[in-house]
Amino acid sequence: MLGKSILFLTLTILGALADKKFPDTFRFGTAGASYQIEGGWNEDGRGVSIWDTFVHTPGHVKNNATGDVASDSYHKYKEDVAILADLGVKLYRFSIAWPRILPDGTPYKVNQAGIDYYLNLIKELQANGIEPVITLYHWDLPQHLEDLGGWLNPQIADYFGDYARVVYKALGPYVKYWVTINEPGTTCTCGYGQGIHAPGKSLVGDGIYTCAYNSIRAHAKAYRIYEEEFKKTQGGKVTLNIASSWYYPKDNSSSLDQLAADRTFEFNPGLYANPVFKGNWPQIVIDRVANRSKLEGYSFSRLPVFTQEEIDYINGTFDFFALNIYTSSIVEYTDEWPISQPTVWLDQGTITSVDPSWPVSESSWLTSDPPGVRYLLNYIQEKYNPGEIIITENGWSTVPGELTDTSRVAYLKGYLSNILDAIVDDGVNVTGYTLWSLLDNFEWAEGYTQRFGIISVDFDDANRTRTYKDSAKWYKRVVEARAIVD
Ligand code: GBH
């Protein structure tokens, strides 16, 4: 009798699970980025980017791999779109290579061949009922602009604005979703802080903040240009995207750990989200950097000060929240670190770790904690009230050649079902999800040692043959059912 009722209960719960559907307002998709997939690095008038320079200098990337050919999507985009169509997805997020459009980054010379490539890609997508979500900047800065100081040069905001205008003009009639800058936090931390990404600068005490300041100003410029010159006729939406983990306090009952978790949020996603969604840097960041700068002997704060005019110009430059979420982190309070060589991590002043029970991917930084995404979505909705949230990246890395990618399916199943709960049970307005990534691709400093694709790419084959992994077959069924399937 008991056995029967348990069976009945189980079936009822399973039935309810299968009934839980992603609403019509929600669209599935996949994502990628120009330098990671295109190749064709010196074809048809494309200029040189900081990643070309970085990878062509030995010692920067595992096995000295390059994106010269990458997944060859510059030539194989039609095949890629056919895969997207087969998967049944409705969104495809890709980025524009700035030096393909403006070879040296400046608008005096527009490379029509570059524009045509993206026009053709968009045409192919739309013929298959797939909507483009376009990132203007996913890290391939024209080398000429880096020679001028890159993201440390305040004028980068004007250069970026001019570039954005050229792209809006050429592609805007066909595009409704724009992301200005992909994860400025990663550019600033990895490119101008740790030096592990192009342009390879290690400026951990101040360069990261200068880069953050200029990235936010550049984003705002591109947003305002769209708003003033294109929005009325093109009717699209613009935002920047922000990578965030979910931050748990180490001890739930410790208010100091809770304080530390909040502070870690503000020093990472908050540094970029606050100026755009609320106005100015997070106060806790302003206070802490000013205080430590003073103790270090500075007469000013290492965190650049926004003028009131800048605060007003930047505040509100979003039409939705674009979130990249991969993992969670556990945060512990600690006493103030002693004064020594300044770094943003000393400014933050917390201890972070991961739970040993969380599955670890091929990339050691990436562990799986599915409930984290539900907490984070609720937190973002509440804190920033963005109206609409699109998850522009979420994914998992496995070893090269693995087609039976059980760990990726487990990861995606966990994250997607928590996203579904956030939408259905908590009422968070998530309208899209572009899984990272469609294809195996050039994973930055890791080269080709880690594979994020749901489609495998054979990088030893000149043809860059594409093969479905189990996760792609699974995702296709999810998209079709609009529900979590086994
Ligand atoms: C995304 O960043 C990127 O937008 C995308 O291009 C990339 O392919 C994808 O992730 C997968 O990595 O080496 O320990 O210092 C996600 C945020 C920030 C996570 C940099 C990895 C380096 C960690 N990433 N971080 S470590």
Residues 177 and 237: beta-carbon distance below 8 Å: yes
Question: Which residue from 292, 294, 295, 271 is spatially nearest to 283, judged by alpha carbons?
Answer: 271
Residue identifier of the C-alpha nearest atom 7 of ligand 1? 443
Catalytic-residue membership of 336:
no
Cα–Cα distance, 148 to 144 (Å, whole number): 7
Q: Please tell me the predicted confidence (pLDDT) of residue 328.
A: 98
Asked if residue 182 has its Cβ within 6 Å of ligand 1, the reply is: yes
Residues 368 and 358: beta-carbon distance below 8 Å: yes
Cα–Cα distance, 307 to 445 (Å, whole number): 36
Asked if residue 186 has its Cβ within 6 Å of ligand 1, the reply is: yes
Q: pLDDT by residue (tens digit) across 172-206?
A: 999 999 999 999 999 999 999 999 999 999 999 99
pLDDT over 50 at 12, yes or no: no
Which domains, ranges and CATH numbers included, belong to the chain? 2-480 (3.20.20.80)
Average pLDDT, integer, range 332-351? 98
Annotated catalytic residue, options 38, 266, 362, 393: 393
Average pLDDT, integer, range 280-308? 98
pLDDT over 50 at 1, yes or no: no
Q: Please tell me the predicted confidence (pLDDT) of residue 19.
A: 80
Residue identifier of the C-alpha nearest atom 21 of ligand 1? 365
Where residue 17 falls among pLDDT bands split at 50, 70, 90? low
Residue identifier of the C-alpha nearest atom 23 of ligand 1? 365
Asked if residue 131 has its Cβ within 6 Å of ligand 1, the reply is: no
Cα–Cα distance, 398 to 452 (Å, whole number): 7
Asked if residue 242 has its Cβ within 6 Å of ligand 1, the reply is: no
Q: Please tell me the predicted confidence (pLDDT) of residue 16.
A: 54
CA 243 / ligand 1 centre spacing (Å) = 9
DSSP summary character for residue 191: I
Catalytic-residue membership of 446:
no
pLDDT over 80 at 6, yes or no: no
The residues that bridge with 182 in the sheet, in sequence order, are: 241
Q: Please tell me the predicted confidence (pLDDT) of residue 8.
A: 47
Residues 311 and 317: beta-carbon distance below 8 Å: no
Q: Please tell me the predicted confidence (pLDDT) of residue 4.
A: 45
Average pLDDT, integer, range 381-385? 98
Q: Please tell me the predicted confidence (pLDDT) of residue 463.
A: 98
